[in-house]
Structure 1
């Protein structure tokens, strides 16, 4: 019979996703069949599964750590924010609707049966399911109808380990305060706790651990020191994307309001020859950049308007006059064209807006999303692979005559006549060692090895880190049959 344990956080961004990935790799190395599961996730950084669905990128990484293929059951509800108050609702890998926050509150209790179906399918196929919560169960104003934290744990009968983050300060208040605000039934489901991201001598917090255990009755499972290699693993939250000072090749990335699938940046950040510089709103695009990379967007038209409002369109034109290169991926590709039409009002009010005009192509938004893992070839030579996740269709002279990728015989992407502006819909290109090496060579740099091998090495190092600092045997004892 399968068992399950749930890792919840005493706050957002306490490191739940990384801990689950590390546990998945550690327990796989112990010979267990492990599956990750997150009932509800909110992220515009999605991964495409083999069956053409989408889940949170963190669950895809956790599946990789567990040595299994990502599948839609691992993240049955994915919310993809499109505005400050609304999000696309993806259920078991497929778009269900777009809902405002208040409307979703009424919708989410109806999703619990599908969440439980996905959970039980995973449990039937594996020895252990490691469940990741979302945000914090201490947000008791969200408890009614909850499917992400205690609502799921109660419905599925899964015990909980609560994770605190000492790096931000106040970890005792995080954990003891969570115990204080939870109702008795929810608090009783929490069986243990751990403290994450400790810096310095962990022995100095021994009394703190004892105090938390005494006030809550929860089992202390360990103090996990800050994992210095965490930046080498794909981030899920756009707040975690930071500039990575490195080598002489400077790649500037404007931080779009609805930046999506930004894991395209991770392989570049890992290169010693590359400095990836995130350009925050209020700052100009730097004059010394070799490449300006415009990433994906969940709301292309709104992000294009914000791009112009920042004056980045003027900076981009100056960058090209200086001889720089520009690349757009997915939404960034759409922005580079002459126009973006949204006749059905998928992203907002129906209409057409003028693009940046750097590629002679036009985009029309369609309600049908293109989702899939793809393999293709560069027209310059060499096989590539990646994934598509977009709603637009882009065509025009620069696409017809100067597409630089072919996927299953169809053209993909577009380039300007001088080749210094390129765009495509294919995410994951920079994970391909050959393509990344080619781009860096064009910019005067060099690639230093295999990105995918480095991710594997980092997951192994993370597993060893948790084996040293977390009481994994006791955590397994807390897991319950499901």
Structure 2
């Protein structure tokens, strides 16, 4: 089990790289995360949902993702509450304090899923959540040491030297843990080192002496890790300050993406950001949508109504109308599609008090009713009217219809259904399909419409190439034979 001294120390990418490393050795490898908190989710083949990081780890291991790889997924809807997804299915919503009472019965599902994976694997690589030393959450824990004890899984602790204070964070974790938890840890890794590694040899020895844990690796910074799908919103910010990105004019077509508080499935943007002829500018609060944008994308949202309020508070509705008057294009994805319509109704109280109805941006002739049943499925089809094929997935709560959807649908899905809507002039479109730009055929279609050059990028091949290089990188800097020996004890 890979646990961390804190959030965002690189656990997810370390597990992904190790999945690829050990799978290439011929082992049957499975990733596992008992509890994840993320609004960036993936759809499994059986119509469930798991954290996006576990889907990437499954890909690294060369297997399809399963709901049992992430049996508990929390999808934040507010500062204090979240949707609770268990073995791929939403079972309800809970406030933070209320959720603590759910944990004993959720541990049963976690251990059930872990047992299922254990029966088909030679090696399971488990990812912890947040910090291993959160003593205030230790009682009833199912994400870190609580799971490690319940499943009898040895732990490797990871610290991030790039953020500073790595010696204190690792030694401090040892000081905070009680003796039974500390005994579960069989070694430590220092991640994201920059510079001459010999300069930190004394640091590694100091940590080992103070903790009693052996050093298993000093991993240099791997810059291309930022090009892999990120688990949370911090992964969006890989290009530096947003104002710099907006002002860049040397990278061709500018695509602007307003970032709302509950943005979801933002890995939809990753393939565009790897295009050499495109700049994807993340528009953060208080920033205007730039007049030079060729396309504005309204991404998915975990709380469409609240994010729509936020959108208006920033004045982005005015900017968007001006962008359209100038001849620009707009694409709404999932929650963004719902915002583009005339009306959003919430009769069942999915996102707040029952019976709420709010005016949409009115750029598409559709209306949305939020419904309790979540749509989770992989889809294939063609966009209309050009017939360009695509593969993607749906993950949404809501039914959207109206003249825009019936008279000018965005796509024809295999099986007979249509999806989305397009304005009469073709410059505004909305769809429930995620993953469009990861399909090279669709991405090239949009780049052609925007006047961007065709780079010939094979996005799926790029992801696998980076995973291979990540595996090589970790194999060179981590004692992987010792990791296997630890797992076999």
Give the TM bin, normalised by the shorter chain.
Answer: over 0.9
Q: Displacement of 1:129 after TM fit?
A: 0.2
Q: 1:410 maps to what in 2?
A: 417
- Give the Cα–Cα distance (whole angstroms) in 1 for the partners of residues 329 and 268 of structure 2: 17
Judge conservation of contact 1:294–1:332 (CA < 8 Å) in 2: yes
Judge conservation of contact 2:388–2:445 (CA < 8 Å) in 1: no
**Residues matched between the structures, number:** 476
- Give the Cα–Cα distance (whole angstroms) in 2 for the partners of residues 140 and 259 of structure 1: 30
Q: Displacement of 1:243 after TM fit?
A: 6.1
Q: 2:242 maps to what in 1?
A: none
Which of 165, 169, 172 is 1:170 aligned to? 165
2:3 alignment partner, SS class = strand
Q: Structure 1 residues 339, 243: CA separation in 2 closer, same or farther (over 3 Å shift)? A: farther
1:109 alignment partner, SS class = helix
- Give the Cα–Cα distance (whole angstroms) in 2 for the partners of residues 217 and 187 of structure 1: 10
- Give the Cα–Cα distance (whole angstroms) in 1 for the partners of residues 218 and 132 of structure 2: 21
Q: 1:472 maps to what in 2?
A: 480
Q: 1:303 maps to what in 2?
A: 307
Q: Displacement of 1:404 after TM fit?
A: 2.1
Per-residue Cα deviation, 1:132-170 (whole angstroms, up to 9, x for no partner): 000011111000000000000000000000000000000
1:229 alignment partner, SS class = helix
- 2:272 is equivalent to residue 268 of structure 1: yes
Which of 446, 453, 458 is 1:446 aligned to? 453
- 2:81 is equivalent to residue 86 of structure 1: yes
- 2:345 is equivalent to residue 341 of structure 1: yes
Q: 2:64 maps to what in 1?
A: 69
- 2:370 is equivalent to residue 375 of structure 1: no
Which of 366, 387, 391 is 1:361 aligned to? 366
**Residues 236-315 of structure 1: pairs in structure 2 closer than 5 A:** 236-242=231-237, 244=239, 245=245, 247-315=251-319
Which of 56, 75, 81 is 2:51 aligned to? 56
Q: Displacement of 1:446 after TM fit?
A: 2.3
Per-residue Cα deviation, 1:289-331 (whole angstroms, up to 9, x for no partner): 1110000000000000000000000000011111111000000
List structure 1 segments (4+ residues) > 6 angstroms apart after TM superposition: none
Q: Displacement of 1:247 after TM fit?
A: 1.9
Q: TM-score under structure 2 normalisation?
A: 0.96
1:41 alignment partner, SS class = strand
Q: Displacement of 1:54 after TM fit?
A: 0.2
Q: 1:428 maps to what in 2?
A: 435
Q: 2:222 maps to what in 1?
A: 227
2:433 alignment partner, SS class = coil
Q: Displacement of 1:382 after TM fit?
A: 2.5
**Over the residues paired in the alignment, what is the CA RMSD in angstroms?**
0.9
Which of 100, 109, 115 is 1:105 aligned to? 100
Q: 2:407 maps to what in 1?
A: 401
Determine which structure has greater relative contact order: mean sequence separation of CA pairs < 8 Å that are 6+ residues apart, divided by chain length: 1
- 2:323 is equivalent to residue 319 of structure 1: yes
Unmatched runs of 5 consecutive residues or more in structure 1: 1-5
Q: 1:3 maps to what in 2?
A: none
Judge conservation of contact 2:226–2:238 (CA < 8 Å) in 1: no
Q: 1:384 maps to what in 2?
A: 390
Quick check: 438-447 or 15-24, which moved more? Answer: 438-447
- Give the Cα–Cα distance (whole angstroms) in 2 for the partners of residues 452 and 144 of structure 1: 42
- 2:21 is equivalent to residue 26 of structure 1: yes
Per-residue Cα deviation, 1:73-104 (whole angstroms, up to 9, x for no partner): 00000000000000000000000110000000
- Give the Cα–Cα distance (whole angstroms) in 1 for the partners of residues 320 and 261 of structure 2: 18
Judge conservation of contact 1:159–1:480 (CA < 8 Å) in 2: no
Q: 1:459 maps to what in 2?
A: 467
Per-residue Cα deviation, 1:347-395 (whole angstroms, up to 9, x for no partner): 0012110000000000001100000111112221122110000011100
